[in-house]
Amino acid sequence: MKDILTAKFIKEMCDTTANMYRLGWDERNGGNISLLLDEKDVAEYLDLNKVIREIPIGFEAKPLAGKIFLVTGTGKYFKNVAGDPENNLGVVRIKADGETAELLWGYADGGRFTSEFPAHMMSHMARLAVDPNNRVVMHCHPTNLLAMNFVHELDDRAFTRSLWQMCTECIVVFPDGVGVLPWMLCGTNEIGEATAKKMNDYRVVVWGLHGVYGAGKDMDETFGLIETVEKAAEIYMKTAHLPRLNTITDEDLVTIANHFKVNYRKDFID
C-alpha cells in the first residue's frame, strides 16, 4: 500500500492551505476545506476496512452515506498543515446512518474535523444535486471581501453586480453570481442550512461580516473562484470612495458573457 503522504489529494490540500494562509485569507485557525475523494484513489493508500474511531456529525447526512472526505481539523492553523498533515487533516467516511463519520486516517492528536463540518456536508449535498462534479467546499476570510461587507448592501443581486463591474473576467468566472447571507452565528446547523439553500443557485456564498464559502470541481477551480471574487472586492474597496469616471456597463457584461458562452444570471442585468 502506498504512503498516503505522497497522495495527490494530500499534496493539493497542503499546497492550497499554505497558499490561503500566505494570502491572509485564513488567520490563526480561521477557515476550513473539505474535499470529496474517489474511493478507488483512497484504497491505494488506506485499508478501508480499518476504522480508527467514530465521530458524531451533528446532523443527518444520509445522501452522503459511504462517501469519503479529506477535511481540515478543528482548531488547526492552515500554516501548519503542510508540515504536519496527519495531525491537521483527516480522511473520514460517512456511515450508513448519515449521523456518524468513520475516521480512516488523520487527526492523530485526538482531534476531529472542523466545527463547520455540518455546513460543509450540507453544501456538498446541495452542490452535488446541481453538479455531480462539484467536489470541493472551501471556507475562508478574504480581507477585501470581508471589508466590502461593511460598506455594501448585503443583497445577492446588488453585491454580484458590484463585483461583476470590477473586472472583465468576473462574469466569466462566476456567471451564476454571488449569494449573500446576513450575519449569522457560525458553527451552527442554521447557518449550514442557509448556506446550502444558497448553494442551490450559487457556487460562492458570502457569510455577512464573516467570510465566504466557495464550491467547485477541484482545488484549483475553487481557489481561483474565491481568488477572483476577492480581487474584485479589492478593486471595489480601492475605488468606492472615488468618483467613477469609467465602468463596465450592463451592455458590456452581456457582450462578455455571450462571447465566452457562459450562462449568466440574466435577472442581475438591468
Handedness of CA 65, 139, 206, 262 (dihedral sign): negative
Q: Please report which confidence band the pLDDT of residue 267 belongs to, taking 50, 70 and 90 as the band edges.
A: very high
Question: Cα–Cα distance between 38 and 86 in angstroms, integer?
Answer: 19
Q: Which residues pair with 216 in a beta bridge?
A: 136
Domains in the chain, please, with CATH? 1-114 (3.40.225.10), 116-270 (3.40.225.10)
pTM: 0.96
Q: Tell me what the mean pLDDT of segment 171-190 comes to.
A: 96
Judged on CB neighbours under 10 Å (0-12, 13-18, 19+), 270 is exposed
Mean pLDDT, the chain, as a whole number? 97
Q: Tell me what the mean pLDDT of segment 174-183 comes to.
A: 98
Q: Please report which confidence band the pLDDT of residue 197 belongs to, taking 50, 70 and 90 as the band edges.
A: very high
Question: For the chain, what is the HEC assignment?
Answer: CCCHHHCHHHHHHHHHHHHHHHCCCCCCCCCEEEEEECHHHHHCCCCCCCCCEEEECCCCCHHHCCCEEEEEECCCCHHHCCCCHHHHEEEEEECCCCCEEEEEEECCCCCCECCCHHHHHHHHHHHHHHCCCCCEEEEECCHHHHHHHCCCCCCHHHHHHHHHCCCCCHHHHCCCCCEEECCCCCCCHHHHHHHHHHHCCCCEEEECCCEEEEEECCHHHHHHHHHHHHHHHHHHHHHCCCCCCCCCCHHHHHHHHHHCCCCCCHHHCC
Q: Tell me what the mean pLDDT of segment 181-202 comes to.
A: 96
Tell me the Ramachandran region of residue 187: left when phi exceeds 0, alpha when psi lies from -120 to 50, beta otherwise.
left
Q: Tell me what the mean pLDDT of segment 121-147 comes to.
A: 97
Q: Please report which confidence band the pLDDT of residue 1 belongs to, taking 50, 70 and 90 as the band edges.
A: confident
pLDDT in tens, 241-266: 999 999 999 999 999 999 999 999 99
- The C-alpha cell at 86 is 496527519
pLDDT in tens, 203-221: 999 999 999 999 999 999 9
116, 227, 230, 234: which one is catalytic?
116
- The C-alpha cell at 71 is 477535511
Phi, psi of 169 (to 5 degrees): -75, -15
Single out the residue of 182, 185, 220, 226 nearest to residue 203, CA to CA. 226
Question: Cα–Cα distance between 149 and 257 in angstroms, integer?
Answer: 26
End-to-end Cα spacing for the chain = 57
User: The cell 490563526 sits on which residue?
Assistant: 28
- Distance (Å) of CA 141 to CA 123, 212, 223: 18, 6, 13
Residue 156 pLDDT greater than 90, yes or no: yes
Q: Tell me what the mean pLDDT of segment 64-89 comes to.
A: 98
Q: Tell me what the mean pLDDT of segment 33-56 comes to.
A: 97
User: The cell 443557485 sits on which residue?
Assistant: 201
Handedness of CA 43, 45, 49, 55 (dihedral sign): negative
What is residue 86's predicted lDDT score, i.e. its pLDDT? 98
User: Is residue 116 among the annotated active site residues?
Assistant: yes
